[in-house]
């Protein structure tokens, strides 16, 4: 029997930059961070309803590429906030790359407002707000 969503894993190029973004700007909590035997780093971030597992290989990683519309794959990570406009303004002020500014959600049955910044490696992040 399913208990809950546990975590999603992804690769980044720089762990310090990633911690600053996900903890400092988005408000996730760093649960674990350690160096692996090969010199890479692994970290787990508590997102309130599941975890985000981050791997930073010792040799770095290339920038993320958006998944084309007709290709299977992870399109973005969504985090729920009380106020998308306030969160977006904070990210924009910090110089975060923006894909799409705040707007009403297309899936109004689920969400009220959304915006799409990118993390330091170009991964799309969806800021979401419910009514």
Mean of per-residue pLDDT scores for the chain:
96
* In the predicted structure, residue 118 carries a pLDDT above the cut 90: yes
Nearest 5°: the CA angle 120, 121, 123 is 100
Q: Tell which residue, 53, 46, 45, 50, has the closest CA to residue 2.
A: 50
| Three-state secondary structure readout of 56-99 | ECCCCCCCCCCCCCCCCCCCCEEEECCCHHHHHHHHHHCCCCEE
pLDDT per position as a tens digit, 57-99: 999 999 999 999 999 999 999 999 999 999 999 999 999 999 9
pLDDT per position as a tens digit, 27-37: 999 999 999 99
* In the predicted structure, residue 115 carries a pLDDT above the cut 90: yes
């Amino acid at each position: 029997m399913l208990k809950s969503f546990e975590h999603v894993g992804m690769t980044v190029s720089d762990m310090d930059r990633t911690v600053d973004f996900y903890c400092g700007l988005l408000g996730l909590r760093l649960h674990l961070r350690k160096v692996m035997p090969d010199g890479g780093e692994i970290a787990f971030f508590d997102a309130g309803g599941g975890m985000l597992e981050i791997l930073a290989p010792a040799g770095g990683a290339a920038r993320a590429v958006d998944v084309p519309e007709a290709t299977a794959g992870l399109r973005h990570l969504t985090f729920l906030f009380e106020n998308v406009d306030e969160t977006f303004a904070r990210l924009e002020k910090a110089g975060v790359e923006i894909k799409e500014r705040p707007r009403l959600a297309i899936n109004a049955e689920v969400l009220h407002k959304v915006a799409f910044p990118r993390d330091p490696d170009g991964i799309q992040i969806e800021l979401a707000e419910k009514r």
